[in-house]
Structure 1
Amino acid sequence: METVLVEDVLHPFLLEKAGVRGVMVRLGASWREVAARAEYPPAVRVLLGQSLAASALLTCNIKFDGALSIELKSNDALRLLFTECTDRGRLRGLARWEAPLPEPLAINELKDATMAITIGSVDRGRYQGLVDLRRPDLSTSLESYFEQSEQLPARIVLAADGVCAVGLMLLRLPSEGGHDAADDEDGWNRVEHLTATLGQDELRNTAPEDLLYRLYHEESVRLFEPRPLAFGCSCSRDRVESMLRSLGRKEVEAALEARDGEIEVICEFCAKRYVFDRIDAGHLLSAGHTAEAPTTEQ
């Protein structure tokens, strides 16, 4: 009987014997929605899918009320890569590039590249951490980030194609009050060796329960309640109005003149259209609601 691969779900788990917590993700429809927004070159599409899967994985490591994003910027052919997952499991992402792209597309060779992980919380504001980009791929760069920021070893495997984006993340539990498994030095080594046998094709084509049993059945795998995921965009008319106010009166009025009295803004993430005529612009530019200094909001 053929195994049905359930898509757009996070699968948290614990390897009790080894003292390792983990999470697997398989994105299907949500990833295809993101990938369909542009004619991405294969290398960009793969990196965007990997980043989207990683954004979902990282939300399992923290408790927050807001959104977690991964953003890569450079002055090279890959200008921007942005992916985001909210605490409610809503995903979005995009990339901007210029031809020709380098082959292979190694992030550590991009000119003036920076990568940031940002957590935006309703209660705690924004926290941002920078990722060291001395590694060529996203997986090992994120592993390095965890080792530096959390002082704990991490193992991350990512894969993406035109159909799905998948990921596996493992974190060694910190040593706490008599937790023998977390103090088991050989436990992490065993898990690393087992994970090294995992190929990207197997990760893409195997159900999480089957894959976890194949890899870690001797480590007492404990599965937790899966979390659903879906494509979702946080754009709104209020946010677009705020962006237009930030441009200032002169810019908005110039845009109205250039476009026959109408401004159209199309969200790059979800393609939703926001249209403003002169009456709309007059309301949003009314006294006390304008700002001449531009600001940006992702």
Structure 2
Amino acid sequence: MSKIDSQPKNILIFSLCVAAVLIFVMLYQSSGILFGKNSDETEDSSMQKVAILTSDEIRDQSWGSLAYRGQLKIEEEFDISTVLVSDLNTQERMLEATEELIKEGASLFIGHGREFSETFTYLAEKYPDVFFVTLHGMGKHKNQAVYTYDQRNLEYFLALAASMKSETKQIGVLESTKEDKRHSKFQQGLAHYAPEVEVHTQVVNSRDDGKKAVELMEQLLQKDVDVIYSKGNAFNQDVIEYAKKKGVYIIGYLDDQSYMAKDLVLTSLLNNVSEAYIAIMNDYFSETGITAGVNELTEEDGVYQLAPLGPMFTHEEVDYIMREIEKFNAGQLLFEED
């Protein structure tokens, strides 16, 4: 056979070898998928493994999305391996997921909400070498801690902002839960700054039920409400969209929600929960470690603040609100408690 006749055969053999190499490389790179690796997890056997658990789904504007941000933040700041598990909305799911992750080597658990307190209290006694932390809630064992913060003091000044922009002197509140209603300082702020204002409160009993939130919002509007403090995580998207149709002012929650309606969102109460995650990890890697029991975070830790006031406020109004906050922080301003 001539060299010319053998060229096609050589080309074919060479092509098959190249294809085989490419297939091998693709299979190697995708082995994480083939063998069931969690895309939310970064693994290194030499690293401390931190598990973050949330009962919520991970989606835009949700409470669960803040757990995801916390995960990204601590991965960026610390040499650790993390895994995030969401939608643990029953005690059974919480228990099952936590014990499975303990078997996989997780040494620190962060429960994204007080709902993990009961499960962690049970497991803390069972696994003394694992540390359990919840955002808010309770804990009683030496390997259990709570990181909490009370952003409600800023509600005094949300009330001041709302009173400045309400023409009808009818102001509404959309609460996520009855628990929030019992502890709100918004009404105390209104009693101080604008005692003539009437407050109307509706409880959605959900963080993300936009349909029900809008139905209750319509009931508030029928009472001539023209400013609504909406504490709804995910349901605020629906509330703000409806506010745009009705032309009423909104106070946002968790994020700066002015991007949805800059001419209608007065301000927002920000929860920078990822800073709480940073505080937890700083303590975990400190010489003394995490202090068991309740660890109180403050505004200085960066976990909460007011978003910038909207364009509907004059410079004089903004200056007045800022001065009132400064006076309060300096202990020069007191509000009557219920």
TM-score per shorter chain, which class?
under 0.3
Q: Which has the larger radius of gyration?
A: 2
Q: 1 or 2, which has the higher strand percentage?
A: 1
Higher helix share: 2
Greater relative CO (CA pairs within 8 A, separation 6+): 1
